[in-house]
């Protein structure tokens, strides 16, 4: 059967519509007001959902505003479902040279897509299987992770978790080994005099975890001389162990921030290679600044560094080996 003459034109219109939707949803052009309105509306809706889930746990608020909470949930799920479906539909625009099917599958398995799916899935599952309302409320709190898409700090945090996963796992493994050893030592020292608190190694793990993490609830404490000496040593070890994951996070977080600033500075240097930044380059640099989550003050500092470095470079005369045409190229002194 032969296709109608307008089929190709209609398909191109759909692709053009998908491209425009992609630009608005993924904020390819961050200065466009439509994309800004969509982003702000979704952020406000996420914030309203988190506040609503918290207030619903207060019986007086829940009983008085039960209809409002119900409609807010229905509207939120409808908006988030449309958003998820739209992002799945426009996903091929990120890789225009690849087949749409595999691109959509890869997107559906990406962390952000899974977060979007988890934020709406409990609502639909409640129609199929009985779910405790308390569990449903906790699952709705996971919608706060949708803000990761709109927060550069959260995106850096996810990058840190991904890049430092092995190091963090090693730290957690060491903590687990220490937990076993400390719980065993506490059990040996205290199980005779405090069988209710240290009667077994699993029971002693509560004290071991509270001491290793330097929380120190104080509900369970050693009373024997050996137990107190052992507890003091564990406290000293715990100070270092508690700082280990924080140190890994802080170091990697700073590294990612530095890499982003270095990238911004290099782009400034490229734009200043001809001595000035034109309108097109300025818009591209502003777009990059927003994508990297760099403040205007930091960007201004990086610009000054790039400008001073460019000014220090002196031009030398070069000749193209292919066409023989001469041109100037700046080389740093």
Read off the pLDDT of each residue in 266-271 and give the average, rounded to a whole number.
Answer: 87
Task: Give residue-wise pLDDT tens across range 90-127.
Answer: 888 878 888 888 889 999 998 888 988 988 888 888 88
Q: What is the pLDDT of residue 282?
A: 83
Read off the pLDDT of each residue in 35-53 and give the average, rounded to a whole number.
Answer: 87
CA distance 69 to 55: 9
The CATH architecture annotation of domain 152-333 reads Orthogonal Bundle (1.10)
Task: Give residue-wise pLDDT tens across range 237-254.
Answer: 888 777 777 788 888 888
- The SS3 assignment for 215 reads coil
- The secondary structure of 263-315, three-state, reads HHHHHHHHHHHHCCCCHHHHHHHHHHHHHHCCCHHHHHHHHHHHHHHHHHEEE
Q: What is the pLDDT of residue 9?
A: 47
With CA atoms as reference, report the closest residue to 293 among 154, 90, 107, 168: 154
- The SS3 assignment for 185 reads helix
Using a 10 angstrom Cβ sphere, with 0-12 exposed, 13-18 middle and 19 or more buried, the burial of residue 116 is buried
**Which CATH superfamily groups domain 7-150?**
Voltage-gated potassium channels. Chain C (1.20.120.350)
Task: Give residue-wise pLDDT tens across range 121-174.
Answer: 888 888 887 776 677 777 788 888 888 777 777 777 778 888 888 888 888 888
What is the pLDDT confidence band of residue 22, given thresholds at 50, 70 and 90?
A: confident
Tokens of 94: 């990120």
CA angle 56-144-84, nearest 5°?
A: 110
What distance lies between CA 325 and its chain's CA centroid? 49
- Greater pLDDT, 220 or 318: 220
CA angle 231-232-236, nearest 5°?
A: 115
Q: What is the pLDDT of residue 180?
A: 94
Q: Which residues contact 204 (CB under 8 A, 6 or more apart)?
A: 183, 184, 186, 187, 190, 191, 197, 198
Q: What is the pLDDT of residue 79?
A: 93
What is the pLDDT confidence band of residue 7, given thresholds at 50, 70 and 90?
A: very low
Tokens of 296: 């205007």
With CA atoms as reference, report the closest residue to 290 among 107, 39, 79: 39
Q: What is the pLDDT of residue 15?
A: 63
Q: Is residue 82 pLDDT above 50, yes or no?
A: yes
End-to-end CA gap in the chain: 70
Q: Is residue 318 pLDDT above 80, yes or no?
A: no
Alpha-helix residue ranges (DSSP H) falling in 129-224: 133-140, 152-163, 165-190, 195-198, 201-212
Q: Where do the structural domains in the chain lie, given as residue ranges?
A: 7-150, 152-333
Q: What is the pLDDT of residue 292?
A: 79
Q: Please report which helix (H) or strand (E) contains residue 247, including its range.
A: helix 225-271
With CA atoms as reference, report the closest residue to 147 among 68, 80, 74, 93: 80
> By the 8 A CB rule, do 90 and 77 touch?
no
CA distance 2 to 263: 52
> By the 8 A CB rule, do 256 and 159 touch?
yes
- Cα separation values, 191 from 160, 204, 227, 305, Å: 42, 9, 10, 65
Task: Give residue-wise pLDDT tens across range 167-210.
Answer: 888 888 888 999 999 999 999 999 999 999 899 999 999 999 99
């Amino acid at each position: 059967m032969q296709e109608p003459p307008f089929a190709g034109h209609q398909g191109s219109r759909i692709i053009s519509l998908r491209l425009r939707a992609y630009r608005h949803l993924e904020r390819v052009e961050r200065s466009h007001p439509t994309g800004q309105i969509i982003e702000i509306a979704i952020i406000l809706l996420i914030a309203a959902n988190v506040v609503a889930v918290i207030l619903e746990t207060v019986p007086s608020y829940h009983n008085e505003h039960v209809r409002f909470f119900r409609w807010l949930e229905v509207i939120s799920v409808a908006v988030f479902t449309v958003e998820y479906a739209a992002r799945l539909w426009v996903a091929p625009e990120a890789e225009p040279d690849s087949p749409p099917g595999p691109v959509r599958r890869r997107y559906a398995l990406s962390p952000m897509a899974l977060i979007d799916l988890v934020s709406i899935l409990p609502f639909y599952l409640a129609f199929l299987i009985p779910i405790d309302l308390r569990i449903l409320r906790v699952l709705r709190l996971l919608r706060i992770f949708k803000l990761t898409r709109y927060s550069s700090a959260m995106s850096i945090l996810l990058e840190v978790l991904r890049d430092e996963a092995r190091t963090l796992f090693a730290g957690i493994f060491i903590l687990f080994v220490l937990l076993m050893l400390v719980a065993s030592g506490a059990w040996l020292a205290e199980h005779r005099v405090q069988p209710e608190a240290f009667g077994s190694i699993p029971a002693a793990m509560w004290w071991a975890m509270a001491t290793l993490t330097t929380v120190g609830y104080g509900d369970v404490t050693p009373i024997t001389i050996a137990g107190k000496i052992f507890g003091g040593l564990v406290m000293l070890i715990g100070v270092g162990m508690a700082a280990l994951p924080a140190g890994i996070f802080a170091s990697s977080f700073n590294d990612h921030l530095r890499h982003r600033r270095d990238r911004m500075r290099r782009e400034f240097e490229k734009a200043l290679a001809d001595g000035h930044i034109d309108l097109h380059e300025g818009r591209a640099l502003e777009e990059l600044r927003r994508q990297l989550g760099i403040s205007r003050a930091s960007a201004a500092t990086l610009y000054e560094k790039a400008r001073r470095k460019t000014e220090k470079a002196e031009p030398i005369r070069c000749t193209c080996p292919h066409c023989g045409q001469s041109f100037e190229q700046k080389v740093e002194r």
